[in-house]
Structure 1
């Protein structure tokens, strides 16, 4: 333990990194502000989105996709908002921000920028299928939390010196059955879940989203449906990619989430299959 002390990150370092990130797009910031008011007017949201042609095109494309299962076309931004809901609007607005820069080095986590992004989108697909089954009252933040649940890895990567990366690799090599988040905590003193929550709080996203991100690996006893939804979305995405997280802590969290949400095996498998079908459509849309 002593030899790792010099490699540890402070809360101040994470906060400083969050402040150094490029600011959110003006449209995204305005959407966050508007949706933060439980009594927001749809007309205000329409005005903001209508000024962003790229986001408008994505919204209309998704609202008119087969996934929505509605034959009447959504012809306006207002139609799309009503059809998709505020949670999907927020997720689409955040999708550009959540995508990693091409130069990001995520090798310490066993990832490339492409595999990282595919997992994020796959998690959104699983989250949307969970929400569609109405297995719990997730609120409007599930898909956004699923999109950003691993964003903290991009933050930690900025601090991964060759020495820290080597220490993480050594830890994993000498501790069979442990996973990368254990290495993060042991070597860096923090994990990507906390780092991601630091950023989303800096962006002033709803606190329930930040809490879901912060607790998606080891939720406390007073867990909430939204956190459990992110836990399941993450695991379903990993399973669909053929790389489920089989660490003891994660398997316990997943089992607890399944029990808390009352998801039986048939429903779980159905959600996993449907999210696979939805994944490519979302990947094309978010790109």
Structure 2
């Protein structure tokens, strides 16, 4: 657990192109969201290795919104062996202190609010992100023996991976219309984003992840979640594979085509110990678990 990373420090880890883009966005008024007070207090306790469950639960309970969302997240089937949870202390004991902290980080990011004129787009964005995050948790739970990625790690990566889109939406008045984000099933295409705005939501998301002190391999996965081939045999590559498969299952559940899947599946499936023959059965298992959970909610 490291101390906070400044935006400037995070920029130093980018290449010249990425750093230049972030600098222009910052100069143009884009705002990297600060961490909520509850998260800062938790981080200080984690850095000092103060893992007293009663103290940690008191801090989390200071923010009823975060506490309520935490209860909602841990109803995911990935934590079925620990359910039901009756208190934040129960969650900390069963899920683990560091794992719970990861979940709180992800939940905190969803507090980013948007302009009222794009309220529906923001609502759709978070619905999409949270659904992909649920799928990512379930994939990690099913493949943990192969991938060594845990549900809380997959959840936080999925919540953060497209957060750069929100910040671009705040920065560019025409971003929503140009990227056609209000259209069902439509999502940002990197080449189009680069051409029209000379911007990259993956780089912006990476800066947010570093500034919020996410683990380096998760930050790298956010940076390259549309470019798995850039990553070597590393946990960040495995995380990107989970994110890409989670997105594919999201599209399947929505019954809309995923324009990216055919381009990445040859890299994604072997990384998760799967192949095209095994994918239909695996996808059915994950989607069924997700739908059963949604029906029970």
TM-score greater than 0.5 by the shorter chain = yes
**What SS class does the counterpart of residue 141 from structure 1 fall into?**
helix
Is this contact kept in 2: 1:130–1:229, CA < 8 A? yes
Partner residue in 2 for 1:41: 51
1:234 is displaced (CA, Å) by 2.2
Is this contact kept in 2: 1:123–1:234, CA < 8 A? yes
**What SS class does the counterpart of residue 83 from structure 1 fall into?**
helix
1:262 counterpart = 2:277: no
**What SS class does the counterpart of residue 147 from structure 2 fall into?**
coil
Is this contact kept in 2: 1:91–1:143, CA < 8 A? yes
Q: Pairwise CA RMSD of aligned residues?
A: 3.5
After superposition, the Cα gap between the structure-2 partners of 1:199 and 1:190, relative to the gap in structure 1 and judged at 3 Å, is same
1:183 is displaced (CA, Å) by 0.4
Partner residue in 1 for 2:122: 113
Partner residue in 1 for 2:91: 80
Structure 1 residues 167-186: aligned runs within 5 Å:
180-186=189-195
Query: Residue 95 of structure 1 is aligned with which of 100, 104, 107?
Result: 107
After superposition, the Cα gap between the structure-2 partners of 1:17 and 1:118, relative to the gap in structure 1 and judged at 3 Å, is farther
After superposition, the Cα gap between the structure-2 partners of 1:165 and 1:51, relative to the gap in structure 1 and judged at 3 Å, is closer
Q: Deviations over 1:59-108 (max 9, x none)?
A: 4565578774358753442221232344454334432432553526669x
Is this contact kept in 2: 1:91–1:144, CA < 8 A? yes
Aligned length: 259
Distance between the aligned counterparts of 2:253 and 2:82, measured in 1? 29
Distance between the aligned counterparts of 2:205 and 2:165, measured in 1? 8
Is this contact kept in 2: 1:88–1:143, CA < 8 A? no
After superposition, the Cα gap between the structure-2 partners of 1:267 and 1:36, relative to the gap in structure 1 and judged at 3 Å, is farther
Partner residue in 2 for 1:252: 263
Distance between the aligned counterparts of 2:165 and 2:75, measured in 1? 34
Distance between the aligned counterparts of 1:132 and 1:42, measured in 2? 27
Partner residue in 2 for 1:122: 131
Structure 1 residues 21-40: aligned runs within 5 Å:
21-34=32-45
Partner residue in 2 for 1:173: none
TM-score by length of 1: 0.73
Is this contact kept in 2: 1:149–1:196, CA < 8 A? yes
Distance between the aligned counterparts of 1:36 and 1:268, measured in 2? 39
TM-score by length of 2: 0.71
Partner residue in 2 for 1:175: none
1:143 counterpart = 2:155: yes
Distance between the aligned counterparts of 2:117 and 2:266, measured in 1? 32
